[in-house]
Structure 1
Amino acid sequence: MVNVQGRWALITGASRGVGYQTAVFMAKQGCNLILHSRSLAHTESLQKDIQALGVEAYSVAAELENLDEVTRMLDEIETRGTPVDIVFNNAAVQIAYRTDYWKTPVEDFEASFRINFIAPVMICNRLLPKMISRGFGRVINTTSGIRNEPEQSAYAASKAALDKFTKDLASRLEGTNVMINLADPGWCRTDLGGPNAPNSVESVIPGIAVGAFVDDQKSGRFFPAQAFTGMSLEEAVRKAESLTATPYTI
């Protein structure tokens, strides 16, 4: 199991929900954090709480729909000289629930793909080569188990694109000690999931973060966070490493 003490992790969407839970959990394991949100004010309190746990932390801001801001955020991290070892591409948007899905506006797809797919791809493409050159890295891309809901087709399609990108890239990482995997938090009571979701946001721990700790050099896995609820981190890692990557069927 990977020891993350002293390593640096970037968490997008860290100010609330699943990202917040991930940030606190990782800090408790001794991991230093880069906390992303749309505004520095959104992570101000969290940053103080994280630092009180004895680890280093700083915040960055970017509206992920604005790809120039994504570039500037990555430039800032690079200028600071932070060796990003772990990435949680957690931030996402679910634009709307379109009952009349035949009239889903193109703008839904454009915004969903920029935030849920293109921004994570930009982050991966900037940071993964540096991980490879240093000989260590873990990327966890947050996906969704949503299916058969054309009412949310823009969101679902953007997550499907992220799944495809992750699995294809996984095929090139063997032997690098850099791993990329997918994690699904499940339907949780968050701003995105809504108040009627069956799972508390706390239930994502430790499953949503287990991809940072697996150490068997296998990428392309899918980790359903709800399947790890209530486990210790050690138990979760053993279970995660027993899973195989879901093969393509077409």
Structure 2
Amino acid sequence: MVDVSGKWALVTGASRGVGYEVAKFMAGKGCNLILHSRNLEHTKQIEEEVKALGVEAYSVQAELADYEEVVAMLDLIEKKGTEVDIVFNNAAVQIAYRENYWETPVEDFDMSFRINFISMAAICFRLIPKMIERGFGRVINTTSGIKNEPEQSGYAASKAALDKFTKDLASKLEGTNVMINITDPNWCRTDLGGQQAPNAVESAIPGVVVGAFVDDQKSGRFFHAENFYGLSFEEAVKKAESIEANPYVI
């Protein structure tokens, strides 16, 4: 199991929901944090909470729909000299639920792909090569289990693109000690999931974080949070390493 104490993790969408839970958990394990949101005001509370746990932390802001803002955020992290060891690409948006899905506007796809896929790809392309150079890295991309719902086609398609992208990159990382995997927090009561969701946001832990701690250099796995319900953290990491890695074969 990886010891993350003293390492640096970037958590997108850290101000609330699953990202908030991830940030608290990682701080509890001694991991320093870069906390992303659209506005620095949004991460003030979580920044104070994680610093109180004895780790270093600072906040960054970027509207993920704006590629230039994503680049500026990454430039700032680099300018600060922070070597990012772990990435939780958690932030996402669900544009709308289109009951008349035959009239889904193209804007649903445009915005969904900008935030849910392109921003994450940009982060991966910027940070993973540096992880390879240093000989360590963990990337956890958050997907969705939504299927057979064209009412949410923009959101679902953007997540499908992220899944494909993640597995394609996974095929290139063998032997680097840089690992990229996918997690699904399940349908949780968050601003995105809504209050009708069946699961408390806390239930996403430990499933959404195990990808930062697995240590067998295998990528392309899918960690569904519901498969880790009720397990201790140690049990969860052990189970995660027993899941077959499934990158696409070249």
Task: Please confirm whether the aligned pair reaches a TM-score higher than 0.5, indicating the same fold.
Answer: yes
Secondary structure of the 1:69 match is helix
**Which letter maps to 1:186?**
N
**Which letter maps to 1:128?**
I
Return the alpha-carbon distance in structure 2 between the equivalents of residues 84 and 242 of structure 1. 26
Paired residue for 1:18? 18
Paired residue for 2:82? 82
Secondary structure of the 2:138 match is strand
Return the alpha-carbon distance in structure 2 between the equivalents of residues 46 and 21 of structure 1. 9
**Which letter maps to 1:69?**
E
Paired residue for 1:56? 56
Over residues 173-221 of structure 1, what are the superposed CA-to-partner deviations in whole Å (9 max), with x where a residue is unaligned? 0000000000000000101111111110000011100000000110000
Return the alpha-carbon distance in structure 2 between the equivalents of residues 215 and 80 of structure 1. 28
Over residues 105-131 of structure 1, what are the superposed CA-to-partner deviations in whole Å (9 max), with x where a residue is unaligned? 000000000000000000000000000
**Which letter maps to 1:70?**
V
Return the alpha-carbon distance in structure 2 between the equivalents of residues 91 and 55 of structure 1. 22
Paired residue for 1:115? 115
Report the identity percentage. Answer: 74
CA change 1:147–1:41 in 2 (3 A) is: same
**Which letter maps to 2:222?**
F
Residue 45 of structure 1, CA deviation: 1.2
Paired residue for 1:236? 236
CA change 1:171–1:213 in 2 (3 A) is: same
Return the alpha-carbon distance in structure 2 between the equivalents of residues 10 and 132 of structure 1. 17
Residue 248 of structure 1, CA deviation: 5.9
Paired residue for 1:224? 224
Residue 245 of structure 1, CA deviation: 2.8
**Which letter maps to 1:92?**
A
Secondary structure of the 1:130 match is helix
CA change 1:25–1:121 in 2 (3 A) is: same
Determine if the alignment matches structure 1 residue 179 to structure 2 residue 170: no
Return the alpha-carbon distance in structure 2 between the equivalents of residues 133 and 103 of structure 1. 47
Return the alpha-carbon distance in structure 2 between the equivalents of residues 108 and 207 of structure 1. 29
Aligned counterparts, 1:203-222, within 5 A:
203-222=203-222
Secondary structure of the 1:196 match is coil
Paired residue for 1:32? 32
Contact 2:167 2:247 in 1 (8 A): no
Return the alpha-carbon distance in structure 2 between the equivalents of residues 228 and 44 of structure 1. 30
Return the alpha-carbon distance in structure 2 between the equivalents of residues 245 and 105 of structure 1. 36
Return the alpha-carbon distance in structure 1 between the equivalents of residues 246 and 137 of structure 2. 21
**Which letter maps to 1:31?**
C
Residue 230 of structure 1, CA deviation: 2.1
The unaligned stretches of length 5 or more in structure 1 are none
Paired residue for 2:190? 190
Deviates more, 1:231-240 or 1:119-128: 231-240
Return the alpha-carbon distance in structure 2 between the equivalents of residues 247 and 58 of structure 1. 34
Paired residue for 2:129? 129
Q: How many residues are treated as equivalent by the alignment? A: 249
The unaligned stretches of length 5 or more in structure 2 are none
Paired residue for 1:71? 71
Contact 2:92 2:116 in 1 (8 A): yes
Deviant stretches of 4+, over 4 Å: 246-249
**Which letter maps to 1:50?**
V
Return the alpha-carbon distance in structure 1 between the equivalents of residues 87 and 66 of structure 2. 20
Relative to the length of structure 1, the TM-score reads: 0.98
Relative to the length of structure 2, the TM-score reads: 0.98
Return the alpha-carbon distance in structure 1 between the equivalents of residues 22 and 6 of structure 2. 16
**Which letter maps to 1:198?**
P
Deviates more, 1:230-239 or 1:111-120: 230-239
Return the alpha-carbon distance in structure 1 between the equivalents of residues 59 and 211 of structure 2. 22
Return the alpha-carbon distance in structure 2 between the equivalents of residues 29 and 62 of structure 1. 26
Return the alpha-carbon distance in structure 1 between the equivalents of residues 58 and 247 of structure 2. 38
